[in-house]
Amino acid sequence: MTTTNDLTPLLKRLKLGTLLPTLPERLALARRDQLDYAAFLEVLLADEVSRRDQGRLERQVLLAGFEEVCRLEDFDWTAGITLDRRLLDAAFSLDFLRRHEHVLFVGPVGVGKTFLAQALGYAAIRAGSSVRFMQADKCFLALAQARVDHTLEKTFRSLLAPDLLILDDLGLSLRERALLRLMHALNICPDAIGRVVPSCLANPAYARAHPDIHHIT
Q: What is the Cα Rg of the chain in Å?
A: 23
Q: Count of CB atoms within 10 A of residue 37's CB?
A: 8
Which residues of the chain does CATH 3.40.50.300 include?
Answer: 72-216
pLDDT band at 180 (very low <50, low <70, confident <90, very high): low
- Interacting residues of 122 by C-beta distance below 8 A, sequence separation 6+: 61, 66, 69, 70, 71, 131
Fold of 72-216: Rossmann fold (3.40.50)
Q: What is the largest CA-CA distance in the chain?
A: 74
Q: Residue 9: is its pLDDT beyond 70? A: yes
pTM assigned to the model? 0.72
pLDDT value of position 59: 95
pLDDT tens for residues 116-160? 999 999 999 999 999 999 988 888 888 888 888 899 888 888 888
SS3 of residue 80 by DSSP:
coil
pLDDT tens, position by position, 75-117: 888 777 778 888 899 999 999 998 888 888 888 788 888 999 9
Residue 195's pLDDT band, with cuts at 50, 70 and 90, is low
- pLDDT for 194 equals 53
Distance (Å, rounded) from C-alpha 76 to C-alpha 79?
6
pLDDT digits (tens, 9 = 90+) for 163-174: 999 988 876 555
Q: How far is CA 115 from CA 13, 58, 75, 89, 168, in A?
A: 43, 18, 8, 15, 10
Q: What is the structure's pLDDT at 147?
A: 85
